[in-house]
Amino acid sequence: MAIRLGDEAPDFTAETTQGTVNFHEWLGDSWGVLFSHPKDYTPVCTTELGMAAKLKPEFDKRNVKVIGLSVDPLDSHMGWEKDIEETQGTAVNFPMIADSDRKVSDLYDMIHPNANDTFTVRSVFVVGPDKKVKLTLTYPASTGRNFDELLRVIDSLQLTAKYSVATPVNWKDGDDCIIVPAVSNEDAKEKFPAGWNEIKPYLRVTPQPNKVG
């Protein structure tokens, strides 16, 4: 069954390039990004894995652990990682699940048979420290994902979790945020000492809370 926002991220134990991983245990108190790749030794995936590796300091800063998956076996992953390091200039620095029995792919509905009955699509699941699914993305095999967008969404999710703000259209780090409707004006006075601009009672704009003085 498809995984929906707010569902508990299904737990699993899997072989990876960094040893056996129990997903929930491995996540601990971190946020997580689980993302799938159609197949080893494919060009778009090679660039994505290189970028994910380069962005490790950005993921670390946000307390996010990254784990990749493709349905090829471990020895294939190991050989491909050498190519990724050679061509992308960064060694893969996160575990890659060897899902040749498709256990995890099936659990997360990553194989869409009407697109391709063998390979996974490009799925992304962002999981919160509460192990709940916060974001799902599904891209076709032929389109590489935008990792700047992934970091942007993680920033938005973390602001919502910590400060009860939402982020408006095309928001980027440092832009004003929106006070979520569930926060009353009375509570907002305490939560948002920098104040807010009430454009409409349901549209209250406040400076990004973690950038204020």
Q: How far is the CB of 39 from ligand BEZ (least distance, A)?
A: 6
- Given the complex with ligand BEZ, which of 45 and 67 has the nearer CB atom? 45
- Given the complex with ligand BEZ, which of 144 and 209 has the nearer CB atom? 144
Q: How far is the CB of 112 from ligand BEZ (least distance, A)?
A: 13
Q: How far is the CB of 142 from ligand BEZ (least distance, A)?
A: 5
Using CB under 6 A, list all residues that contact ligand BEZ. 38-39, 42-45, 141-142
Active site residue 177: no
Distances (CA, A) of 200 to 116, 178, 204, 208: 47, 11, 7, 19
Contact 100, 72 (CB under 8 A): yes
Contact 195, 209 (CB under 8 A): no
Q: How far is the CB of 19 from ligand BEZ (least distance, A)?
A: 25
Which tokens in the block code for residue 115? 């697109």
- Given the complex with ligand BEZ, which of 44 and 205 has the nearer CB atom? 44
Residues 70 and 99: their CA atoms lie apart, in Å, by 6
Nearest partner of 70 among 26, 16, 143, judged by Cα: 16
Catalytic residue among 45, 92, 126, 150: 45
What distance separates the 2 farthest-apart alpha carbons in the chain?
A: 59
Query: Is residue 36 helix, strand or coil?
Result: strand
Q: How far is the CB of 64 from ligand BEZ (least distance, A)?
A: 23
**H or E element at residue 16:** strand 13-16
- Given the complex with ligand BEZ, which of 46 and 208 has the nearer CB atom? 46
Which residue type, as a one-letter code, is found at position 81? E
Distances (CA, A) of 48 to 1, 70, 85, 145: 27, 13, 12, 7
- Given the complex with ligand BEZ, which of 37 and 204 has the nearer CB atom? 37
Q: Check the CA dihedral 202-207-210-213 and report its sign.
A: negative
The set of catalytic residues is 45
